[in-house]
């Protein structure tokens, strides 16, 4: 994740992820997924070293499951569009260096082929260490 402060109370954030998995079994296919996201953080006034915030964002992703289903058909890739809200806090241990916690809730709509789609939701937590330029 990367974020850029536009003011003392507003920041934009960009996220990117790459997931690769392989079972290690002979003849199994590797799976992978990529995703990009964009969000807005609204920082609240707080203590000198504590920065609390809330925000919202969106994401776009693609996942290739590899392999075949029970009928022997090749599995198609899945495209996902997601939205979410989050809240968090950063504690500046020294000027411009922080540790933070964040909790978010997101919903995603995925389309695997022309005839199937799904709605998925979930709560995620994150702990991070970062710095502010």
| pLDDT tens digits, 46-79 | 788 999 999 999 999 998 877 666 676 767 788 8
Q: Which residue bears the tokens 């991070």?
A: 128
- Structural domain containing residue 83: 2-22+31-131
CB-based burial label for 39 (10 Å; 0-12, 13-18, 19+)? buried
Q: Could you give the residue ranges of the DSSP H alpha helices within 1-133?
A: none
- Minimal CA–CA distance to 34: which of 58, 63, 72? 63
> Hey, what's the torsion of the CAs at 58, 126, 8, 17, to 10 degrees?
-40
Give Cα separations from 92 to 12, 98, 128 (angstroms).
Answer: 19, 4, 12
pLDDT higher than threshold 90 for residue 105: yes
> Quick one: what percent of the chain has pLDDT higher than 90?
50
- Minimal CA–CA distance to 110: which of 102, 101, 118? 118
pLDDT of residue 16: 95
pLDDT of residue 68: 66
As a whole number of Å, the CA-based R_g of the chain is 19
pLDDT of residue 112: 74
Alpha carbon 110 to its chain centroid, in Å, reads 15
Edge-to-edge order in the sheet of strand 97-111: 2-5, 10-21, 31-44, 50-64, 78-94, 97-111, 117-131
pLDDT digits (tens, 9 = 90+) for 15-44: 999 999 887 777 777 889 999 999 999 999
Q: Is residue 116 very low, low, confident or very high in pLDDT (cuts 50, 70, 90)?
A: low
Domain count of the fold of the chain:
1
Average pLDDT, the chain: 87
Q: Which residue has the higher pLDDT, 98 or 46?
A: 98
């Amino acid at each position: 994740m990367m974020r850029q402060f536009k003011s003392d109370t507003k920041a934009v954030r960009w996220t990117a992820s790459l997931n690769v998995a392989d079972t290690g079994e002979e003849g199994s296919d590797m799976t992978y997924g990529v995703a990009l996201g964009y969000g807005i953080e609204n920082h609240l006034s707080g203590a000198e070293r504590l920065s609390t915030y809330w925000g919202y964002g969106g994401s776009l992703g693609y996942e290739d499951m590899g392999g075949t289903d029970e009928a022997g058909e090749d599995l198609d890739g899945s495209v996902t569009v997601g939205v979410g809200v989050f809240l968090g806090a950063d504690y500046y241990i020294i000027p411009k260096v922080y540790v933070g916690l964040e909790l978010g809730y997101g919903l995603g709509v995925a389309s695997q082929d022309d005839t199937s789609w799904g709605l998925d939701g979930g709560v995620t937590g994150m702990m991070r260490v970062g710095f502010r330029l």
